[in-house]
A and B are shown apart, each in its own frame.
Chain A
């Protein structure tokens, strides 16, 4: 029982990971999947599909799936634009996960993390990531990875433990296919290397977190960035002005931005969140939200100097119409910590005015009453 459960977890991980860790086709190769192709029921490939089907069943009820019809339709549109005849088979789920994550299973089940969406600047960059994942699907990388794994296990080869290992060649293959699909659909391939450059900047040379499957198997390297840049320079987009699609992308993501930023702050990864916010502030959209998030980062870290920096960020946020009402709450609580009682009382009262339905109203009122009593 225990072994079964552990194995199940491992095999599920294999289903999700292997796409990003597949070996090159051997001599003789493996044909790409045809648009309507389904593996025969008795094949291991059908089993990998069934496992992915089960994963999809779980997702149907999962609170992690973002069920915003407008956002779903937008992602679907980009998928279909680049996947062409494979479009009906690629099922893209937006997963509420603030990490930089995406995955592709054998059956065309694609999961895209909101942390990844928050970090992309435009539709062309989205097309690159989606194209890369679709490349894993078309090349049947999950199946190849499974066969390779089996062969090694049977021969008791040492590499057997490296289920999540990847080879640069395999990633390069998906990169290449992703860029080709992107160009074929009219996107600007120069946006592809920017996805990884930005991400490397955010990491600031820190090692990849092992628990992040996407990054463990897609480590952004200078070499990959160079290859993508090289490809973009050599490629001429023939279908008119290459599409970047910044405005469309930003407009479709804007309704989700508030909670995506909350999720980002809640990761408690101060340095990378700070780099991300700087980048987003530079891009200049939703500044009230962004400065509020910057204030939250500092308030929650609470190290030396953080409180005064959070005050500056909250006040900046309040200069913009999209500053959330919680800005007053956070600012008031920081004033309280800084022992500026008058400012705390005034700001917290303002919060309750702005948010009559505040869920912590009773606790904040209590706080205000204590401040009044101490006057």
Chain B
């Protein structure tokens, strides 16, 4: 092996180890340390699919409902004692509910944009040097008037499990993605965000480990 080849290999390994784009949590300057004055926890969305032969996926009712319970329990455990948790309750007023739903929808777009531009190879935005995304001041409509939590957290997970019929094909594995974001409800800024491509939500220990990994290095 020539010296050049060795150098190239070492550099290549550096690339592979350091991974694509960002790995681990992103945060704004304000998102380094947050006051533990309350966190509004939006309904956790966990979807578990079965990848059937021929690549067709089926959102499995039993797995999804089970995983939703496990992840919720794991979240409660991981967040316990860090900050006061306020659970989201849809308001009775339909107009306010619509405005809140709109904030959640735009958050879903932001989430995809952040994953695409910070966590995916080849899609970074050259004009965006710093982690800086916002829902704007309209996000304050999520404020629960009674509890007035100043921050909100969105958690979303999706797991695709291969059908047992896939054994014959081999080489494929279950897929997982999970994201968590913390929004400053006054300015609407996303102050903390994490995205993970490894995890599992089939059992209580798996769900706990997955939630711990996703929420490591929380700002409170």
Contact = CB atoms under 8 A, between A and B. Distances in A.
A15 B198 CA distance: 29
B9 interface: no
Contacts of A47: 50, 58-62
Contacts of A6: 55
Contact of A7 (B56, B62, B64, B65): B56
B53 interface: yes
A150 B55 contact: no
B56 A11 contact: yes
Contacts of A233: none
Contacts of B62: 41-42, 46-47
B206 to A, nearest CB: 19
B177 interface: yes
Interface string B141-185: 000000000000000001010000100000000010100000000
A14 interface: yes
A50 B55 contact: no
Contacts of A226: none
A239 to B, nearest CB: 41
B51 A7 contact: yes
Nearest to B102: A61
B54 interface: yes
A8 B49 contact: yes
A154 B168 CA distance: 10
B58 A3 contact: no
A51 B54 contact: no
A240 interface: no
Given A1-B175, A4-B160, A47-B60, A10 B65 contact: no
Interface of A is mostly: helix
Interface in A41-89: 41-44, 46-51, 54, 61
A41 B64 CA distance: 10
Interface of B is mostly: mixed
Contact of A3 (B51, B59, B177): B51
A47 B47 CA distance: 11
Interface in A1-50: 1, 3-4, 6-8, 10-11, 14, 41-44, 46-50
Contacts of B59: 8, 11, 47, 50-51, 54
Given A1-B177, A153-B52, A8 B57 contact: yes
Contacts of A1: 175, 177
A269 B54 CA distance: 36
Interface string A230-255: 00000000000000000000000000
B58 A11 contact: yes
A241 B165 CA distance: 57
Contacts of B54: 149, 153, 160
Nearest first, the 5 A-B pairs at minimum CB distance are A7-B57, A46-B61, A153-B53, A153-B54, A42-B62
Interface of B: 49-62, 64-65, 101, 105, 158, 160, 165, 175, 177
